Structure 1
Amino acid sequence: MADSKDDSTYVPLLSERYSGIPESLLEKAQQAKAHALSVTTETQSTKQRSPVYPPGVERRVFDEAVNELRDQLGADHVTLNNQPLKDGWYMEHPNTHDMMYVLDQDELVPSAMVYPGSTEEVQQVVRWANKYHIPIFPISMGRNFGYGGAAPRVRGSVLVDLGRRMNKILDINPDDYTCLVEPGVSFFALYDEVKRRGYNHLWIDTPDVGGGSVIGNTVDRGVGYTPYGDHWAVHSGLEVVLPTAEVIRTGMGALPGNNTVLSTNPFLRMQWQAFPYGFGPYSDGIFSQSNYGIVTKMGMALMPNPGGFESFAYTFPKEEDLTQLIEIIRPLRISNILENAAQLRHVIQSIAVLGKPRSTYYKGEGAIPIDIIHKAVSETALGDHTWIYFGMSYGPPHIRKYKLDIIDAEFNKVPGAQRIDPTTLSPDEYFWARDKIASGTPDVQELRWVQWVPNGAHIAFSPVSPIRGADATRLIEMARRRHDEFGIDLLPAFIVGLREMHLIVEIVFDRTDGARRKAALDCLRAMIDDAAAYGYGEYRTHLVLMDQIAGTYNWNDGALMKFNEKLKDALDPNGILAPGRCGIWPRKYRGRGWEMTRESGESSQGNGVAAD
């Protein structure tokens, strides 16, 4: 729940709460919160709400079930969702709903929230859900904003909030550069603990904002910006509660000796996080972006301190430079001259990230004219540009110089390219936030662009394509056409992996304005279909778009989804675990109108569930 304190400068610290921030970021976070509240115009409801109920479960049965669960876990750890919905702020976010709702605020809400304190208590919750056939929806911390936050896909599900009481860093091994964490461990907390222990030879990898769960981000295949930025690729070992309440450990954790988390035998202690595969089929993948199990522990590799680093940024003047730029970036990235998943951002983001509302520059209808953006950016330290590349080089000075000279020669093939001189930039310039993140230090500055509009919320379009100039140009043109159609400002960035790139388009909208919410969803649904027609699929998405995107992966008459459904029915025979997540519906929901597509309209509710 959002914190009861209403002081606009109050932000919880890690010393106060598992979901707080490091003290080093306090002033910056206070400023970010005050700024966010300054552009909030909505009036929070104080009206008492009646709880919603799970589909197919009578109120009498649900009340009996809740009382039973309170007896098992303790009354303080089971809460009905019958209070007013308060959106809060990033560091004091709700778990009653999605604070960045794109449907009506009350559409995707749980009936109750449950807070297990151990793997054994998660098992109790799962057994309980099976007994009463109540859908449950687990979250780690609920900070996957832009993708659904803490909302369940099925209204009336019971939210299982793992983070509040399961937030221990179980191990940091300074010799093999690994850690073992529970769901409530944030990137802030992991970074702080590494520093507290004096492990300066270890780096973590962090996303744009460090308040999210390490486990939650990783199992949803989120990314960071060091060479260890593919978080799923550097995880090793899961503990999972299955939908039938059995517990498994994957990889080397299936060896009995490794099942003592802090074994006194150092050889057994290391293996689970040192080698991800074990023996036999590699099962970890089915617990990533799925509803096949609840991850309660996860191992992760930590990055060695490279012995130095140097951030750099280049600006490029023309829209049409994009094609040449991507062709330059591809061989540099594949050969690891460009070492991290850096960002190529459009000029509008250079303005939005300053944190000033759109109305500072333009009060008209429709997308903001590009000449206004160019005028605004020309008055900043970056100067006028259309594209800006943020990157980092790692290693001792002579190694960095070798790589940076190559990068400089290649980027200067683009007429008008300019390397930014960091000594000319003020301490609050966005460049320094990227410098922190790419060197494994969590930050909060990325929150600024969400205040582009009042009551700012965001939702992303994120197709994957080859690293080719023609693909980049096609995707940008497609996105711009749809944004112009729906009167939305286009905020694009390319995140370039080793052999693929993600176009991340953030649609920022006023969550209190039904027309703007509808425009955002209509634009997204159109772009999803447009991209699929070209062979581009999204890598991650919001709850309400999961059915549509899953439907685009339909080769061979939907063979992949049929396989996913077979797994679901085998692992979750009662269909209780996160029904509908990633488009995977249990048998009892199928064919009853629960899927949300471009044609179905924007109601999340189906026609009940089949009788058991």
Structure 2
Amino acid sequence: MSSSAVPVLSDVHTGIPENLLEKATAAKERLYSRKTAPPYYERDEQLPVLPPDVSRSTFNAAIAALEGILGSANVEVNDKPLVDGWYIEHPNTHDAYHVFSPGDSVSSAQCYPGSVEEVSAVVKWANKFEIPIYPISIGRNLGYGGAAPRVRGSVVVDLGRRMNKVLKVDGENYSCLVEPGVTYYKLYDEVKRSGFPMWIDTPDLGGGSVVGNAVDRGVGYTLYGDHFGNHCGMEVVLPNGEVIRTGMGALPGPDGTDNPTWQSFQYGYGPYADGIFSQSNFGIVTKMGFWLMPDTQHQTFMVTFPNDEDFADIVDIIRPLMIKRILGNIPQLRNVIQELAVTGRPKTDFYKGEGRVPREVIREHASKMPCGDCAWIFYGTVYGTKEQIADTLKIVNIEFSKIAGSKFLFPEDMPADHYIHSRVSVCSGVPEIRELDWLNWKPNAGHLFFAPISPTKKHDARVLYELVRDIHDEFGFDVFPTYCIANREMHFIANIVYDRDDEDEKARAMACMRKMIDVCAQHGYGEYRTHILLADQVAHTYGWNNQAMMRFNETLKDSLDPKGILAPGRAGIWPAKYRGKGWELLLGDDRATSNPADIKTVTELVSASHL
């Protein structure tokens, strides 16, 4: 695969746009130049892996029936070696960034419905044969498990391959309606092709599903950066195969058309149901509406701060600027080590010792880079007319200048290859691929995101940062903290980069994650999303009133999905069929597999005191 051409968007729905092909090709070459792991993993068990409690004869009959529904070309049995690939050419068979063995969270098969009617038929098929299914849109949520099903042997329902149309772009309403296989790359191209003066909002990397990211409550960086908050209307297949539309979509339009206000008003009438289909296993979203941002003038800037201890004061300056909407987008506050990592150079270029890169080494290298010898970097963007932008920048400059030694810089002050130019694109709704470069930090790099939420207050920010920093140090990982800042809270994204060909590193990465989840939750900071294998632990940290929320979710699950076929274990929600039978992976569970029928431990790799 390392020598193959990068697929382009005009040929395949998961491809890269032509304008980013050169960057993507270079990124792929850098990743593969660091690769020492085998190109694929042979499998020494009978294949395909079967779903729980399903015999091989039943499975074979079920697959034959599924081929009858979708056509044999749209059903694939997972009986080949496992290939991890990379961001643009990722698998839909297993977790590309596996933290257990590559064969742990694997599918038994993949299927590719082409319409909501076929999705409904697949769900009814799963109920008939009692086979768990795991829907994905694109499967690129790689820091959280990618396309891997939580239950080994599930059938992955890949919605992206054949359901990837932008169904509507409304230039008067500034909205769109899309299917799950539409990436940010594709939506951007479609909106530009429409000729309407509109922006999309994109996360750091543009290859993910617009629907998938919103349903998982991901964020971007413009004024419309809350992706779920800026959706409007869904079409959902329930676990019994019935199809519903939420919001105004539940009201039929004239002569059988879609309701004309489906993408205009979020709530409709009665209970607001959309939320139960985000981060859940209560339904499969097959269409989703979104609001788009009007094209506007903008100015991206960066502010550097010299000292580690400036951090708390920076946060206290940011909070009123966000609450008053002076800073209108979702800015980032990043530690300076990320200036080193985002160059795409390996860690060994900066430090050849063991454990974390020492602070003095980071300072030494930063002093030779455009950012200079600093500790923290704030990336922001302001919007409006030329006069509004100038007035806003004056206010922001005055506030940040209260921190001694801070420096205000603009894109024209930095070299053409500096990261700020990627922020200009992303913060003006243009999808990028630059953020991929920090994966070169380690050979065979995988990564895990630790993503807790804190108030935008100096005390909380300091406590959370110090907890994460110290636990990273305990397990020997560099800490890459990024704060994505909303009006009153901050998404703290800490990224553990590990060598997925190193069993010790993988075990330490999981142990580090488990301890951070537990310790930070004890201080009141919970994750807003997490890896599929950590979902049980995170869900149980939200345990107020003797796990009242979990009991509520289980009640919904058992009512909507009595046979437990739809993504069991997603978000830590298990149906009655699986509940209490060893599937849950909780704190202190010294297991190196997600399958309770194949218990292995990691005590030889990481001491039990770390777990």
Report the TM-score, using the length of structure 1 for normalisation. Answer: 0.96
Map 1:468-483 onto structure 2 (within 5 A): 468-483=457-472
Segment of structure 1 superposing worse, 417-426 or 68-77:
417-426
CA shift, 1:259, in A, is 9.3
2:264 equivalent among 274, 287, 296: 274
Name the residue aligned to 1:186. 183
2:249 equivalent among 234, 249, 253: 253
Q: Within 2, Cα distance between the matches of 1:509 and 1:367?
A: 12
CA shift, 1:54, in A, is 0.1
2:564 equivalent among 575, 584, 587: 575
Is 1:110 aligned to residue 99 of structure 2?
Answer: no
CA shift, 1:423, in A, is 2.1
Name the residue aligned to 1:101. 98
**Distance change >3 Å, CA 259–CA 152, structure 1 → 2:** farther
1:293 equivalent among 274, 278, 283: 283
Map 1:547-562 onto structure 2 (within 5 A): 547-562=536-551
Q: Within 1, Cα distance between the matches of 2:226 and 2:19?
A: 26
CA shift, 1:48, in A, is 6.2
Q: Which amino acid aligns with 2:408?
A: R
1:39 equivalent among 21, 24, 34: 34
Map 1:217-366 onto structure 2 (within 5 A): 217-257=213-253, 263=257, 270-306=260-296, 308-366=297-355
Q: Which amino acid aligns with 2:15?
A: G
> SS state of the match for residue 432, structure 1?
helix
Q: Which amino acid aligns with 1:41?
A: T
Name the residue aligned to 1:601. 590
Contact 1:382 1:420 survives alignment (8 Å)? no
Q: Within 2, Cα distance between the matches of 1:259 and 1:383?
A: 64
Deviations 1:418-474 (A, max 9, x none): 012432322221000011000000000000011110011110111111110111111
> SS state of the match for residue 62, structure 1?
helix
Q: Within 1, Cα distance between the matches of 2:372 and 2:130?
A: 60
Name the residue aligned to 2:56. 59
> SS state of the match for residue 256, structure 1?
coil
Is 1:430 aligned to residue 419 of structure 2?
Answer: yes
> SS state of the match for residue 14, structure 1?
coil
**Distance change >3 Å, CA 528–CA 286, structure 1 → 2:** same
The alignment-based identity, stated in percent, is: 53
Map 1:138-537 onto structure 2 (within 5 A): 138-199=135-196, 201-257=197-253, 263=257, 270-306=260-296, 308-537=297-526
**Distance change >3 Å, CA 259–CA 340, structure 1 → 2:** farther
Segment of structure 1 superposing worse, 285-294 or 592-601:
592-601
Report the TM-score, using the length of structure 2 for normalisation. Answer: 0.96
1:28 equivalent among 23, 32, 39: 23
> SS state of the match for residue 274, structure 1?
coil
Contact 1:253 1:259 survives alignment (8 Å)? no
Q: Which amino acid aligns with 1:484?
A: D
Name the residue aligned to 2:606. none
Q: Within 2, Cα distance between the matches of 1:569 and 1:472?
A: 39
Q: Within 1, Cα distance between the matches of 2:597 and 2:575?
A: 14
CA shift, 1:503, in A, is 1.1
Segment of structure 1 superposing worse, 418-427 or 183-192:
418-427
Contact 2:249 2:259 survives alignment (8 Å)? no
Q: Which amino acid aligns with 2:565?
A: I
CA shift, 1:6, in A, is 4.8
Q: Within 1, Cα distance between the matches of 2:224 and 2:413?
A: 30
Q: Which amino acid aligns with 2:393?
A: L
Deviations 1:467-506 (A, max 9, x none): 1011111111111111111111111111111111111100
Unaligned runs of 5+ in 2: 599-611
CA shift, 1:543, in A, is 0.3
Q: Within 2, Cα distance between the matches of 1:289 and 1:563?
A: 15
> SS state of the match for residue 320, structure 1?
helix
Q: Within 2, Cα distance between the matches of 1:225 and 1:36?
A: 26
Segment of structure 1 superposing worse, 19-28 or 385-394:
19-28
Q: Which amino acid aligns with 2:250?
A: A
CA shift, 1:591, in A, is 1.0
1:18 equivalent among 13, 16, 30: 13
Deviations 1:131-153 (A, max 9, x none): 01000000000000100000000
CA shift, 1:376, in A, is 0.8
Q: Within 2, Cα distance between the matches of 1:424 and 1:250?
A: 48
Contact 2:2 2:32 survives alignment (8 Å)? no
> SS state of the match for residue 207, structure 2?
coil
Q: Which amino acid aligns with 1:255?
A: L
Segment of structure 1 superposing worse, 48-57 or 542-551:
48-57
Q: How many residues align?
A: 595
**Distance change >3 Å, CA 571–CA 486, structure 1 → 2:** same
Q: Which amino acid aligns with 1:559?
A: A
Q: Within 2, Cα distance between the matches of 1:302 and 1:61?
A: 47
Q: Within 2, Cα distance between the matches of 1:304 and 1:259?
A: 31
Segment of structure 1 superposing worse, 219-228 or 65-74:
65-74
> SS state of the match for residue 270, structure 1?
coil
Q: Which amino acid aligns with 2:540?
A: G
Deviations 1:41-71 (A, max 9, x none): 1112364662100001011100111011112
Q: Within 2, Cα distance between the matches of 1:589 and 1:46?
A: 29
1:87 equivalent among 81, 84, 87: 84
Unaligned runs of 5+ in 1: none
Name the residue aligned to 1:563. 552
> SS state of the match for residue 286, structure 1?
helix
CA shift, 1:361, in A, is 1.0
Q: Which amino acid aligns with 1:250?
A: T
Contact 1:207 1:223 survives alignment (8 Å)? yes
CA shift, 1:606, in A, is 2.6
Contact 2:43 2:103 survives alignment (8 Å)? no
Q: Which amino acid aligns with 2:29?
A: A
Deviations 1:381-433 (A, max 9, x none): 11111000000010111000111000000000001000124323222210000
CA shift, 1:601, in A, is 2.2
> SS state of the match for residue 588, structure 2?
coil
Q: Within 1, Cα distance between the matches of 2:88 and 2:255?
A: 34
Q: Within 2, Cα distance between the matches of 1:392 and 1:191?
A: 20
CA shift, 1:368, in A, is 1.1
> SS state of the match for residue 374, structure 1?
helix
**Distance change >3 Å, CA 117–CA 259, structure 1 → 2:** farther
Contact 2:305 2:376 survives alignment (8 Å)? yes
Contact 1:219 1:287 survives alignment (8 Å)? yes
